[in-house]
Structure 1
Amino acid sequence: MFIEPRDAHAPAVRVATPGGAGTDTSWAALRDTAAAVSDRARRLRRDAPVVVVVDGTAESIATVLGLVDAGVDVLLLEERSSHLADPRSPVHRLASPAVIGPPSMPDASTPHGPVRLSYEAVRQPGRLPAGAVGGSAGATTPSRPGEILQLTSGSTGQPRIARQTLDNVLAGARAYCELFRITGADVVLVAVPVAHSYGLAGTLAALLSQALLVTLPRFSIRSLVAGLDEGATVLLGTPLLYKLLVPVLAARRRPTRVRTALSAGGPLDADTAARIGDLLGSPIRQIYGITEAGLVACVPQALTDWPAGSVGPAAPGVTLRIEGEAATDAADPTATTGVGGPARTGRLLVRTPALFRGYWGTPERGLTDDGFYDTGDVVRLDADGHLFVLGRKDSFVNVGGRKVNPRRVEQVLTGHPHVREAFVYGAERPDGEQEIHAAVVLDPASTAEEVLAHCRAASLMPYEVPHHVHTIDRLPRSGMGKVDRQRLLALVARPSPGPAAPVHP
């Protein structure tokens, strides 16, 4: 393993449970499990990546480390991921020789599919089925470590599978250690899926710094609170997680040991950021990262004051470029922007130390000719170098030639006292024009018509008011708390007793 712990018998990973009695795994056990996986995995077929369902336990983390050490490329999936069952998912196009997962996963082949193996089966002698084996016993040392493959968010369509080298992933984790001053004295609570690039970076940062890593294989607010009660000093969360945590901590009124609270996966509204920061005793530091490019910007530990809503300055080694400027100065709209320049707004391209190797199954690099990755996000960079993410260019709705930012409409909607959640998106009409749709979760006392009246009375222009409002019980979300657009569209397409309320500006 790439880590030599100071004390092999000290706990490396602790699994937090709602009851508060976490399960510890020592460094020695973590290392031995990874080594056993590495030894057996050298016989696995190499014609396609192996899929690993990462449930956040020490066993799952050791399995990933062992496979990569054996030179096996691995695609990481969250537990309960819908991609395994969805034949349209890019995961099915991998033709993977094996899917490795929790103990509940049977050791068996599926018709016309990969062999399914438990974590234990991978490291036990004689447990690898013939269909998964492609090498002989005692296989030679691999020529390179395995690659880490991860699904992109699929913000504007089907997800893709991005390829990353182990060196890049470790470099990102080391950046977390340096930027947030993570040391062996810390307790790092990763309250997000380890399979996600953000969760993986936090997990590896904890291991590299030899801090105690606390994970939540079965997420619940009770297990999260139990993790905090374990003495967490560094917390990795999402906007949704912090929103759910506010009323719980407000009722407890018990101090925490958190010194650094990080948020990624989407915008965190100012009210939630202020309230949870006060309850935790630590301000929320935003992180802006991308599966294809790693860490792009963040609010580091050294920064004590930053503008509200900012995701911080560019991370070390990152170059930002603003294109297609939406106009705050007359400078070259394709120029690389840094601290001290005029404020800029436009589409963001980045070059980072951890740029991906491309997408699985396609020769395209996914980069511009000069090595930049187009994030698709519209951002503002102020004169002091603070970055603000305004939304995705592809998500802007074109209403009669006028661009509408869905995030702005969402902010107005959630300003209504009876709107719990809202997601705004554009949909094309049969004539090719776009309309604004809003999916909202309402209190029982409210109606779609009341919400629309609120929008008309607020600061929205007439063309920004949603044409259709769909009332639903809850927004479908991924493990990172992001709205699952594909599931949402399928949900609102179903006939419902309460039809959407249309309005035409």
Structure 2
Amino acid sequence: MFDLGRSFLASVERRPQATAIADGTLHKSYETWFRDIQSVALALEGFGLSKGDRLLVIMQNRWQMATLHWACQFAGIIVTPVNWRSTAQDLEFFITDTEARVVAYDESASEAVQNCSSVRSLVRITSGQIEDPDAHDFDSLLGTRGDTILRATAEDLSLMLYTSGTSGKPKGVPRLHRAERSAALAHVAQNLYRHDECTLGVMPLYHTMGVRSLLSMALVDGKFVCIPKFDPKETLDAIEREQVSNLYLVPTLYHMLIEHPDFDPGRVGSVDKLGYAGAPMSAGLIARVEAAFSPSLFVNHYGSSEIYTFTIDQNASHKPGSSGRASLNQRIRVVRTGTDTPDEQMPVCEEGEIIADMNGDEAFQGYWQRPDADQKALKQGWYFTSDTGYFDADGDLFVTGRVDDLIITGGENVSPVEIEDVLSLHPQVEEVVVVGLPDERWGNIVTAFVKPRSPIKEEELDRHCIERELTRFKRPRRYVFVDEIPKSPVGKILRRVLREQGPSTTNNQ
């Protein structure tokens, strides 16, 4: 099986003059971009990185980040992209966990990098106007020529993503070249992509959706249009300017696009295929998106960083709430919640935990240096997702929630425990529970139910989160002050009750 470097090289040989990437006014053909990618791969090796080493990347979706991603595929380096909104404390963890020796970053992460002591001993690559005299500017990596680098095989590691767990400690998800390529091929097939496709590269490249958009375009000689940071107006301009043919976004971004004053169906007339993942899309939003775009294909994807796609529904509007059926490379089951065996399958319409076959072509091999996480999630050849759901009478899967209460907001995974830990340190907070409440725009909105010792304002709690360096997207968007936190007779917090009651539990402080 091809590794990803050879996959890209095949596209270069098929259509060398086809446009491969666009970033504002910059456009590069496959042939031109390949030369840049090879030059960067040579530079990374010059910095001492070799096959199997990790390159930590903290960048927005710029052509430089996409170039680093592909350079690693040729050099056999494990590209490790992390959220550009990470704090210095987050970066300390990532550097320690990955044992990275080289870090690449842009202006979006400049402050966090400057405040991270561990970065100072690393080789640094910068992109943009950054004051780091000891760093190597990305442009200085370009222009070197040499023999074509093809270090990796299909069985080597391509990428490591990080996903949050209920403990709040991120987990590394290393993924093989063959798994990444299989996922990209399935993405092409399930979304009916052609060789002349053009996709919007707005989902971050530290996210499974961003990576699949990048790889799938290369497999069909398509164009990847970089959007560094989502802005509805700039995104609409890019769709119109580049004649984008497909979108693969979280529901939040669709909501923001169609609600923007500049949105007009005529401006997005080139878009023929839609896909979404990362969070459920409400029936109301599905109807509005379909009316706005009139797509020939509207695909709901359900998956994870570990497996990528569990199920798809290529007609998302026909049965709102349905996640469809198993994807090309997967088998799924719904088993009794709490079981350790894949054999205790639940009857039709009865809820349980969703599990996926680890023999699927897209599956990972296990977490990075986390045997505790492996023990929890990997059992008898199956991946236990911690998601709950059921099959309806037609055989379609409905996902109902999370076993471990992870919050998915705007396509990002947020651990409530991490937020609770931060808020609990405020002297006026007696008890706090964080849950996700349904929200059409964000999928779920991070909501903190607080039992205060004395009256306190939301602004004070938000300031406390900032001072504790809680990442912006993890900070609660809503605070609900309550007299008591609901608990079971044995003292277990009843998050379900808070979700059902929502903001109506507010007291009159």
The two structures have a TM-score, normalised by structure 2, of 0.70
Q: Percent identity?
A: 18
**Contact 1:12-1:210 within 8 A present in 2 as well:** yes
Q: Distance in 2 between matches of 1:60 and 1:251?
A: 29
Alignment-derived partner of residue 487 in structure 1: 474
Match of 1:147 in 2: 158
Q: RMSD of the alignment, in Å?
A: 4.5
Q: Distance in 2 between matches of 1:371 and 1:475?
A: 43
Q: In structure 2, what is the equivalent of residue 329 of structure 1?
A: none
Q: Name the CA shift for 1:492/1:90 in 2 (closer, same or farther; >3 Å).
A: farther
Alignment of 1:26-37 (within 5 A): 26-37=29-40
Given the superposition, is the C-alpha separation of residues 191 and 104 from structure 1 closer, same or farther in structure 2, using an over 3 Å criterion?
closer
Instruction: Tell me which amino acid in the other structure corresponds to 1:293.
Output: I
Contact 2:336 2:345 in 1 (8 A): no
Deviations 1:458-480 (A, max 9, x none): xxxxxxx977698579999xxxx
- Specify the alignment match of 1:192 in structure 2: 203
Aligned with residue 292 of structure 1, among 290, 293, 306:
306
Shift of 1:294: 1.3
Q: 1:89 aligns with which of 89, 93, 96?
A: 93
Shift of 1:205: 0.6
Deviation of residue 73 (structure 1)? 1.6
The aligned amino acid for 1:14 is: A
Equivalent in the alignment of 1:446: none
Match of 1:348 in 2: 354
1:237-289 deviations in Å (ceiling 9; x for gaps): 11111111122278535252222111111111111111121111126422111
Establish whether residue 374 from structure 1 lines up as the match of residue 377 from structure 2.
Answer: no
Following superposition, the deviation at residue 388 of structure 1 comes to: 1.5
Letter of the 1:381 counterpart = F
The partner residue of 1:219 within 230, 233, 240 is 230
Contact kept? 1:68, 1:145, Cα under 8 Å = no
SS, match of residue 99 in structure 1: strand
**Which residue of the partner structure matches residue 245 of structure 2?**
233
Q: Partner residue of 1:357? A: 365
In structure 2, what residue type is equivalent to 1:99? V
Assess, with a 3 A threshold, how the Cα gap between structure 1 residues 390 and 434 changes in structure 2: closer, same or farther: farther
CA distance in 2, matches of 1:277, 1:264: 16
Counterpart of 2:393 in structure 1 is: 383
Structure 1 residues 307-326: aligned runs within 5 Å: 307-324=319-336
Aligned to 2:104: 100
Evaluate the alpha carbon distance shift between residue 472 and residue 374 of structure 1 in structure 2; reply closer, same or farther with a 3 A threshold: farther
Contact 2:233–2:260 (CA under 8 A) maintained in structure 1: no
Distance 1:475 1:309 in 2: 33
Q: Does 1:278 align with 2:309?
A: no
The structure richer in helix per residue is 2
Q: Does 1:13 align with 2:13?
A: no
2:399 is paired with a residue whose SS is strand
Once the two structures are TM-superposed, the CA of residue 7 in structure 1 deviates from its matched residue by 2.7
Which letter does structure 1 place at the counterpart of 2:123?
Answer: V
- 181, 189, 192: which one aligns with 2:192: 181
Q: In 2, Cα distance between the equivalents of 1:390 and 1:104?
A: 35
The answer to whether the 8 A contact 1:317-1:353 is kept is yes
**Superposition TM-score, scaled by structure 1 size:** 0.70
What residue number does 1:392 align with?
402
How has the CA–CA distance of structure 1 residues 91 and 122 changed in structure 2, closer, same or farther, with 3 Å as cutoff?
A: same
Q: What is the SS of the residue equivalent to 1:236?
A: strand
Measured after TM superposition, the shift of residue 28 of structure 1 is 1.0
The 1:388/1:472 distance shift into structure 2, 3 A limit, reads: farther
Deviation per CA, 1:324-356: give whole Å up to 9, x if none: 259xxxxx994457xxx7333111111132221
2:69 aligned with 1:64 = yes
Contact 1:190 1:237 in 2 (8 A): no
Give the Cα–Cα distance (whole angstroms) in 2 for the partners of residues 395 and 220 of structure 1: 30
8 Å CA contact retained: 2:61, 2:227:
yes
- Partner of 1:30, secondary structure, is helix
Which position in structure 2 is the counterpart of 1:25?
A: 28
Q: Matched residues in 1 for 2:109 and 2:416: separation?
A: 37
CA contact (8 A) 2:17 2:31 kept: yes
- Cα drift, residue 225 of structure 1: 0.2
What is the distance in 1 between the residues matched to 2:332 and 2:303?
A: 13
CA, structure 1 residues 467+361, in 2 after alignment: closer, same or farther (shift >3 Å)? closer
Counterpart code for 1:262: G
Output the CA distance in 1 between the equivalents of 2:288 and 2:462: 23
**Which residue of the partner structure matches residue 485 of structure 2?**
none
Number of aligned residue pairs: 420
**In 2, distance between residues paired with 1:219 and 1:293?**
26
Amino acid paired to 2:302: Y
Any idea what the Cα deviations from partners look like across 1:203-242, whole Å, max 9, x if unmatched? 1111101122222113211121012213222101111111
Question: 1:492: Cα distance to partner?
Answer: 6.2
For structure 1, which runs of at least 5 residues remain unmatched after alignment?
A: 17-21, 127-136, 327-331, 397-405, 411-422, 443-464, 477-482, 495-499
